[in-house]
């Protein structure tokens, strides 16, 4: 395996057509002497983009989760080659893996680093496959840890094998370099507050999906953006921080920081607090994760200290936004409870976007499903997936019931 300062690292990108994946390719473009992409995976809905990425990067293998997309991908690859003026024999057609297990197979492909930028708990099996294969895992798929925390932790073979990509956890990892583990008092995750910061709970009853999608800082996919509006995203990050850094839940706090320039902080026993600050540009934590423990030369630009600015920090309104408390409770319960919460939330977010569930109904329904979920302290991958199936089915039932009684 290529280590720090030892040449080009071979990289596999899972979720290459999504927000994290496309920005990771930007990072690779900026450092061709550091990284070589050997494999790409995507769902199969954007085959034209996936084909163009594969052609540009000259990858060995491409994976699509939708089996019927394999032929479309092959045709799109030839079309992309033709549009770029390539002649027959001037390019190599990559191997194509297709089907629901394609990304999992690709995650174990020979390489140095796997970046998992998939969305949802479908990323859990690829995460486990990458770790079991001994690859360094740059993890942006937080649902892997949330749904399968103990499984993921057990699969980690060395201290630096799992590197976080989320800006908050990347910030914590950087700040933790400033002291010993036994000197840490607490971790502080920052939250932008989303588009509804400052609103009371009763002012959230009639918000629309369009309003919830208008995030003030980050440009993200729809699921993560809605989760940021409810603050479920921040609650899941608390669970993730607990699992990544071994910190008890009562020593992980959340503070609202609307400027999104301080990405998280670590407070030490002597009262010192170290904060990581940078513009809200995901290329920085992506570049750090791909190059860990080394920093890349300017994958993103730093802060402008030549102009005056104000940074605000506010306490979290737990009454209007109970998601963090709900996620902490599920995390403390452990077992499959976090997986149930995440799966139910995915269903409820989809129902909200479709106009079948009000904004406040998302967390109300998720809480009801978590309360009903069977207690299961330890679980295999199959049992985690079964718990998720139950949670999704139960969430759909509750959404249907609510829809039927709507006036």
Task: Tell me whether residue 295 is in a domain.
Answer: no
- Of 111, 144, 165, which residue sits at a domain end? 165
Task: Tell me whether residue 89 is in a domain.
Answer: yes
Residue 219 pLDDT: 60
Question: Residue 142 annotated as binding?
Answer: yes
The answer to whether residues 171 and 314 belong to one domain is: yes
- Of 106, 131, 165, which residue sits at a domain end? 165
Task: Tell me whether residue 183 is in a domain.
Answer: yes
Task: Tell me whether residue 202 is in a domain.
Answer: yes
Question: Residue 18 annotated as binding?
Answer: yes
Residue 379 pLDDT: 82
CA 376 to chain centre: 25
Task: Give the count of domains, the chain.
Answer: 3
Question: Residue 237 annotated as binding?
Answer: yes
Task: Identify the CATH number of the domain in which residue 383 sits.
Answer: 1.10.1740.10
Helix 323-333 crosses helix 232-245 at what angle (to 10 degrees)? 40
Mapped onto helix, strand or coil, the DSSP state of residue 274 is strand
The answer to whether residues 183 and 271 belong to one domain is: yes
Question: Residue 387 annotated as binding?
Answer: no
Determine phi and psi for 49, rounding to 5 degrees: -65, -45
Predicted confidence pLDDT, tens digits, the chain (407 residues)? 444 446 899 999 999 999 999 999 999 999 999 999 999 999 888 999 999 999 999 999 999 998 888 999 999 999 999 998 888 778 888 999 999 999 999 999 999 999 999 988 889 999 999 999 999 999 999 889 999 999 999 999 999 999 999 999 999 999 999 999 999 999 999 999 989 999 999 999 999 999 998 866 666 667 778 998 999 999 999 999 999 999 999 999 999 999 999 999 999 999 999 999 999 999 999 999 999 999 988 767 889 999 999 999 999 999 999 999 999 999 999 989 999 999 999 999 999 999 999 999 999 999 999 999 887 777 888 999 999 999 999 999 999 998 875 55
Residue of 18, 49, 43 lying closest to 100 (CA atoms)? 43
The answer to whether residues 41 and 151 belong to one domain is: yes
Question: Residue 105 annotated as binding?
Answer: no
Question: Residue 234 annotated as binding?
Answer: yes
The answer to whether residues 15 and 161 belong to one domain is: yes
The answer to whether residues 69 and 120 belong to one domain is: yes
The answer to whether residues 146 and 180 belong to one domain is: no
- Of 292, 319, 346, which residue sits at a domain end? 319
Cross-strand bridge partners of residue 11: 37, 113
Question: Residue 210 annotated as binding?
Answer: no
The answer to whether residues 347 and 230 belong to one domain is: no
Residue 45 pLDDT: 84
33-68 burial, b at 16+ Cβ within 10 Å, e below that, comes to: ebbbbbbbbbbbebbebbbbbbbebebbbbbbbbee
Question: Residue 257 annotated as binding?
Answer: no
Task: Tell me whether residue 296 is in a domain.
Answer: no
The answer to whether residues 233 and 106 belong to one domain is: no
Question: Residue 116 annotated as binding?
Answer: no
Question: Residue 221 annotated as binding?
Answer: yes
The answer to whether residues 221 and 306 belong to one domain is: yes
152 CB-side CA count, 13 A: 29
The answer to whether residues 360 and 378 belong to one domain is: yes
Task: Tell me whether residue 269 is in a domain.
Answer: yes
Question: Residue 246 annotated as binding?
Answer: no
The answer to whether residues 351 and 391 belong to one domain is: yes
Task: Tell me whether residue 142 is in a domain.
Answer: yes
Question: Residue 328 annotated as binding?
Answer: no
Residue 217 pLDDT: 65
Contacts of 323 (CB under 8 A, 6+ apart): 230, 231, 232, 234, 235, 363
pTM of the model: 0.90
Task: Tell me whether residue 223 is in a domain.
Answer: yes
Task: Identify the CATH number of the domain in which residue 93 sits.
Answer: 3.40.50.720
**Dihedral of the alpha carbons of 146, 112, 292, 132, in degrees to the nearest 10:** 30
Question: Residue 6 annotated as binding?
Answer: no
The answer to whether residues 160 and 175 belong to one domain is: no
Question: Residue 143 annotated as binding?
Answer: yes
H helix intervals, 312-358: 323-333, 337-353
Domain that holds residue 384: 334-406
């Amino acid at each position: 395996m290529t280590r720090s300062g030892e040449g080009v690292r071979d990289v596999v990108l899972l979720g290459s057509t999504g927000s994290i994946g496309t920005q990771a390719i930007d990072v690779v473009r900026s450092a061709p002497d550091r990284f070589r992409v050997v494999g790409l995976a995507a769902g199969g809905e954007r085959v034209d983009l996936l084909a163009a990425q594969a052609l540009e990067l000259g990858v060995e293998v491409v994976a699509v989760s939708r089996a019927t997309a394999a032929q479309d991908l092959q045709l799109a690859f030839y079309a992309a080659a033709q549009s770029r003026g390539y002649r027959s024999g001037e390019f190599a057609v990559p191997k194509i893996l297709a089907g629901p297990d394609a990304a999992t197979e690709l995650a174990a492909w020979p390489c140095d680093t796997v970046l998992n930028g998939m969305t949802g708990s479908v990323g859990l099996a690829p995460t486990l496959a990458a770790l079991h294969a001994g690859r360094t895992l740059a993890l942006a798929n937080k649902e892997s840890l949330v749904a399968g925390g103990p499984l993921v932790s057990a699969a980690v073979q060395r201290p630096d094998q799992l590197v976080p990509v989320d800006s908050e956890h990347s910030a914590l990892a950087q700040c933790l370099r400033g002291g010993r583990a036994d000197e840490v008092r607490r971790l502080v995750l920052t939250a932008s507050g989303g588009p509804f910061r400052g609103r009371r709970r009763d002012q959230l009853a009639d918000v629309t999906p369009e309003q919830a999608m208008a995030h003030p800082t980050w440009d993200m996919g729809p699921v993560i953006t809605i989760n940021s509006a409810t603050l479920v995203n921040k609650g899941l990050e608390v669970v993730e921080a607990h699992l990544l850094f071994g910190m008890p839940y009562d020593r992980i706090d959340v503070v609202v920081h609307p400027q999104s320039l301080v990405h998280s902080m670590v407070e030490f026993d002597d009262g010192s607090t170290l904060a990581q600050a940078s513009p809200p540009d995901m290329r920085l934590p992506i570049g750090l994760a791909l190059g860990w423990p080394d920093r890349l030369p300017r994958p993103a630009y730093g802060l402008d200290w030549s102009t005056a600015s104000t940074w605000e920090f506010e306490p979290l309104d737990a009454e209007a936004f109970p998601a963090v408390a709900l996620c902490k409770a599920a995390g403390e319960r452990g077992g499959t409870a976090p997986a149930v919460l995440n799966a139910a939330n995915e269903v409820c977010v989809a129902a909200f976007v479709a106009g079948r569930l009000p904004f406040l109904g998302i967390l109300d329904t998720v809480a009801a499903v978590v309360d009903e979920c069977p207690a299961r302290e330890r679980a295999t991958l199959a049992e985690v997936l079964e718990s998720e199936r139950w949670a999704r089915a139960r969430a759909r039932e509750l959404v249907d019931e609510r829809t039927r009684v709507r006036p």
